[in-house]
Amino acid sequence: MTPLSGDRRNLRGDILFACALAAIGYAVWLVRGVLVLLYVSALLAAILKPVVQATSSVRIGRWQPLKGSAAVFFLLLAVAGLLTAYGFIAFPPVVHDLQDLGNSFPTRLPEILAKLKRLPFVDHLNMAQVSAQLQNYASHAAELLVLSIRSWAGRLMDLAMGFILTVYFILEGDQAYRWFLSFFPTERRERLDGVLKRANVRMGRWLLGQGSLMLILGVSSTVVFLVLHIRYAYALGIFTGLLNVVPVLGAAISIAIALVVAAIDSWGRVAGVAIFYVVYLQIENSYLTPRIMESRVHLPGLGVIVALLLGFAMAGVVGALVAVPSAVLVALLLEEYLVQKDTA
């Protein structure tokens, strides 16, 4: 065989490899949504599995009532019961007020516009045009509601599939984990297994830390809302605590909702809510987060913010939800395989 024919075979092999790589990349791009869903579900399963194991270890004498799948379904029933109880607390007063607002909106519109006129930089607006636009939005509310239901239907389907996948990963995750490790050589498999186990421990610590921050914000928000006589104080306080599961972004959304609810009654309550959140965020960022989160996951505050921005840009709210655990995983992998350690 001449050197020229060998070069041709190498060139042909390189072209085929490049084409195969491009085809795989295109296929991955087409199913990127499914891959993100699988990754998020597997990550949530890894984070929640210690909770399931702790539930499985509960004993009544010698009897261990919750084993394996029974512990998972018990936790699911507990979460469903808590959400149902929250719905009975939160939704009836909100629905009642929305019905009253819909019935009295035409008569209350001049009062609303008069309040808007008192705001700074609003006096130059054409209030007749604003009134016409508000009435136009009210007349098309049903159409907007139908469109929003269609868009949310797909999101609810993704949420349901993610929920089902998370349950399966909790129940059968060990088999999938061993199958994943089998793709690596034996000498590299043990090293990767050790890194992933350390990441899993830190993710569990992140869950405990984030749960502590959620509890602190939820309790303090509820107390402040009750003192200020904000509508739906209990529902808003619980919702604020739950939404804080997404760091920074969840707090921002809850702030906006609380300010809107407070604005229904008076601007003084809006100022009270705003002052509370400004003070709380200062305390959380300067005292709570460094001591609760950074000590548990060993990530600097800047790393957490960057992870949240990247996660939200890549997968929206779901990406922000798993951004910090993903950053923990990436940080440990980089530390193990890329960072040059001082052996002196």
Per-residue three-class SS string for 146-186? HHHHHHHHHHHHHHHHHHHHHHHHHHHHHHHHHHHHCCCCH
- Cα distances from 67 to residues 53, 73, 81, 212, in angstroms, run 9, 10, 20, 27
Question: Six-digit token pair at 299?
Answer: 């990530």
Exposure on the CB side of residue 96, measured as CA atoms within 13 A:
8
State pLDDT tens for residues 151-195: 666 667 777 787 888 888 888 888 888 888 888 888 788 888 888
State pLDDT tens for residues 91-103: 777 676 666 666 6
**pTM summary value:** 0.69
pLDDT at 122 over 60: no
Long-range residue pairs from 101-108, CB within 8 A, at least 24 positions apart, any chain: 105/138
Per-residue pLDDT band at 278 (split at 50, 70, 90): confident
